């Protein structure tokens, strides 16, 4: 029996700030302006906003609904909603987030380093920003030092659970809004200085020729998908801490709209500042994510009107805001992994300690390996980190597909139950729409706690629109690799296709193999021997974080009849049925672990 009661946020504000913090990251502040600059300014905003409501909001609504009912992290959610055989999908979701966290901790360290450099005047107008970047990236002890600071801050933020995560995110998000608005005001003054406001105008001017290009729409979809963290399991994780009567629909929309608002503010800040002082602004903002952030923007902010004090304030506020955005994403990344350990009986301090240590050590290669020099520009770049992003960045799209699959499976199961209850045979599409497709929405979204009633449009998106958009993203991604990457099928090519398929295939195969022996069951020793012939399997308990008085039954779900899925504080069944149909008690080692 796992000790302790449920862990939950104090209210809606805490949930919203935590989920906004999970969604807002460095991509809002450095990738979004690059996408705007490269895709026709306001022309890019059109598909970006459209896909906010076609991809991000529907998927976040689904994640909130899944987590609120399962009251477990990603592994437990798929074990409950998709069934025992599909718990590995939850592990895939957790792994993608954690694998991104390995190198994201390094990126967070970059942001912290640039903040400390800015505040002490190390990014002033007479500084060679290329030399600053190169010397830092090529000094692994410095990169690792700031990576360690990022990991330590994350550890302290999540150590005490939901309440601590809530407080930290409220502070960081409020500070981020204040800093970005202050930076936006100074950038507006810079853009207004020449009397043109050309950066502002470009940001919101629609150029029809860009809307006719498929690339603009694909980039809008990818930016919306990554920026809101839709499908990454972040919303599933934080919804575990929802109060019993908390809304899912309005919270999901609020989270996504706040995320996009931050992107607009950051984009305006960058575009107006760059247009104010750079002769070729579009070339500057389209020059690559790290290039614009760490090379161009310090030079831009060093030319802000108002003298050295305003210039120092501008660059300091920007990199502090960037650091806060990175830290909130780090917090959610680590918490997603920690939640899965806690669900399976690991005490929180051990789970936090193990996860943060792993994040640090597995992030070391991204901090110090394959630091190359671009011969054309003379700018250093971290190739190992970029390869990791290349491999795992698109892997999160499968997490979204797995979420959709769980919804499809639930709808099909409910349709078959309806057929049995009503003596219907065969397949009737009209009945399937009425009693299958709409089941998830009726049972887990429109529950009476939701502020917004969700209509059939959500069903169409999840059943038809989502797989179509997923297919377009994947085809465009691999098509781009085939077209623009030399020798894309060479396994040694770090930017090719084979290395992605290899890592995806090995990881998925490993996780499927772990499903029976680690995720759903646990290996025990019959007589104390560690040799495989003396091993045995017994069910692995899953502990649900259900608030007092909450109504969260799971009996109609594929994994809901598993007696080893219990609420925190409840006792486990004294016996279990093994693979041979025999009923027997737990091993002595397992009983000792439960008592501990």
CATH number at residue 245: 1.10.4160
The C-alpha atoms of residue 583 and residue 64 are separated, in whole angstroms, by 37
Is position 481 within any domain? no
- Residue 254 shares a structural domain with residue 392: yes
* pLDDT score recorded for residue 292: 73
Token digits for 344? 């399976």
Q: Evaluate if residue 337 carries a pLDDT over 70.
A: yes
Residue 439 lies in a domain: no
- Classify residue 352: in a domain, yes or no: yes
Structure tokens at 471: 């297919």
Give the number of other Cβ atoms within 10 Å of residue 462's Cβ: 22
Question: DSSP character for 27?
Answer: I
Same domain, residue pair 391 and 525 = no
Domain with 536 in it: 520-595
Q: Answer yes or no: do 270 and 127 share one domain.
A: yes
CA 509 vs CA 98, 367, 504, 506: distances in Å: 18, 28, 8, 5
Q: How many domains does the chain have?
A: 2
Whether residue 392 is found in the same domain as residue 528:
no
Mean pLDDT of the chain: 88
Q: Token match 């297919």: residue? A: 471
Q: Which of 290-304, 315-329, 428-442 has the lowest mean pLDDT?
A: 290-304
Task: Map residue 125 onto helix, strand or coil.
Answer: coil
- Whether 326 is covered by a domain: the verdict is yes
Q: DSSP class of residue 576? A: E
Which carries the bigger pLDDT value, residue 282 or residue 63?
A: 63
Residue 137 lies in a domain: yes
- The answer to whether 458 and 445 are in contact (CB under 8 A) is yes
Element (H, E) at 91: helix 87-119
Judgement on whether residues 393 and 528 belong to the same structural domain of the protein: no
DSSP secondary structure of 151-171: HHHHHHHHTT-HHHHHHHHHH
Whether 337 maps to a domain, the answer reads yes
496-528 pLDDT per residue, tens:
999 999 999 999 999 999 999 999 998 876 665
**Nearest one of 586, 592, 458, 451 to 522, comparing CA atoms:** 586
Read off the pLDDT of residues 375-434 as tens digits, 9 standing for 90 and up. 877 888 898 998 898 888 888 889 999 999 999 999 999 999 999 999 888 888 899 988
Residues contacting residue 356 through CB under 8 Å, at least 6 positions apart: 151, 152, 154, 155, 334
Does residue 354 lie in a domain region?
yes
Task: State which H helix or E strand residue 583 sits in.
Answer: strand 583-585
Q: How confident is the model at residue 531 (pLDDT cuts 50, 70, 90)?
A: low
**Residue 265 resides in a domain:** yes
Report yes or no: 217 and 47 within 8 Å, Cβ to Cβ.
yes
What does the pLDDT read at residue 450?
77
pLDDT band (50, 70, 90) for residue 119: very high
Q: Cβ distance 40 to 207 under 8 Å?
A: yes
Provide CB contacts within 8 A for 400, sequence distance 6+.
Answer: 59, 225, 230, 231, 466, 470
Give the whole-angstrom CA distance, residue 583 versus residue 538: 11
CB 365 within 8 A of CB 384: yes
Confirm if 367 and 57 have CB atoms less than 8 A apart: no
């Amino acid at each position: 029996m796992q000790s302790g009661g449920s862990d939950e946020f104090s209210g809606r504000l805490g949930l919203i700030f935590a989920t906004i913090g999970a969604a807002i990251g460095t991509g809002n502040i450095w990738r979004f302006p690059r996408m705007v600059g490269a895709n026709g300014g306001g022309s890019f905003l059109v598909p970006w906003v459209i896909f906010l409501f076609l991809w991000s909001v529907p998927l976040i609504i689904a994640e909130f609904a899944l987590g609120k009912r399962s009251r477990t992290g990603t592994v437990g959610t798929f074990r409950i909603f998709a069934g025992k055989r599909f718990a590995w999908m939850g592990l895939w979701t957790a792994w993608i987030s954690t694998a991104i966290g390995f190198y994201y901790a390094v990126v967070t360290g970059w942001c912290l380093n640039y903040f400390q450099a800015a505040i002490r005047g190390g990014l002033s107008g007479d500084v060679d920003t290329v030399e600053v970047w190169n010397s830092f990236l090529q000094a692994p002890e410095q990169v690792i030092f700031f990576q360690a600071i990022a990991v330590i801050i994350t550890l302290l933020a999540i150590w005490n659970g939901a309440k601590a995560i809530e407080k930290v995110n409220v502070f960081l998000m409020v500070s981020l809004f204040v800093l970005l608005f202050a930076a936006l005001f100074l950038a507006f003054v810079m853009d207004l200085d020449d009397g043109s406001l050309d950066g502002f105008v470009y940001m919101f001017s629609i150029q029809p020729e860009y809307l006719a290009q498929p690339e603009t729409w694909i980039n809008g979809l990818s930016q919306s998908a990554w920026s809101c963290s839709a499908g990454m399991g972040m919303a599933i994780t934080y919804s575990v801490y929802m109060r019993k009567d908390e809304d899912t629909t309005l919270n999901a929309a609020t989270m996504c709209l706040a995320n996009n608002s931050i992107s607009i503010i950051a984009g305006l800040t960058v575009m107006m500042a760059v247009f104010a002082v750079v002769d070729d602004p579009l070339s500057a903002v389209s020059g690559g994510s790290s290039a614009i952030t760490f090379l161009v923007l310090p030079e831009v902010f060093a030319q802000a009107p108002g003298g050295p004090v305003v210039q120092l304030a501008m660059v300091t506020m920007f990199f502090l805001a960037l650091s806060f955005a990175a830290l909130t994403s780090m917090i959610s990344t680590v918490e997603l992994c920690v939640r899965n350990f806690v669900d399976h009986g690991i005490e929180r301090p051990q789970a936090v300690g193990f996860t943060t240590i792993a994040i640090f050590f597995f992030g070391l290669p991204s901090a110090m390996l394959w630091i190359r020099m671009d011969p054309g520009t003379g700018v250093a770049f971290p190739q190992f980190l970029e390869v990791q992003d290349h491999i795992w960045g698109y892997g999160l799209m499968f997490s979204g597909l797995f979420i959709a699959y769980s919804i499809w499976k639930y709808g099909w199961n409910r349709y078959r139950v309806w057929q049995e209850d009503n003596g219907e045979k065969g397949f009737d599409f009209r009945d399937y729409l009425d009693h299958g497709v709409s089941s998830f929405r009726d049972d887990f979204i429109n529950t009476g706690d939701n502020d917004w009633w969700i209509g059939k449009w959500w069903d169409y998106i999840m059943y038809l629109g989502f797989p179509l958009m997923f297919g377009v993203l994947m085809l465009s991604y691999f098509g781009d690799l085939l077209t623009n990457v030399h020798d894309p099928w060479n396994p040694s090519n770090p930017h090719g296709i084979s290395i992605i398929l290899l890592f995806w295939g090995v990881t998925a195969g490993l996780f499927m193999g772990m499903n029976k022996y680690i995720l759903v069951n646990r290996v025990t020793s019959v007589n104390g021997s560690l040799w495989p012939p003396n091993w045995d399997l017994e069910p692995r308990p899953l502990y649900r974080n259900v608030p007092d008085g909450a109504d969260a039954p799971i009996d109609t779900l594929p994994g809901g009849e598993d007696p080893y899925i219990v609420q925190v504080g409840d006792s486990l069944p004294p016996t279990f049925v093994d693979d041979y149909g025999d009923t027997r008690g737990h091993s002595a080692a397992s009983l000792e672990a439960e008592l501990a």
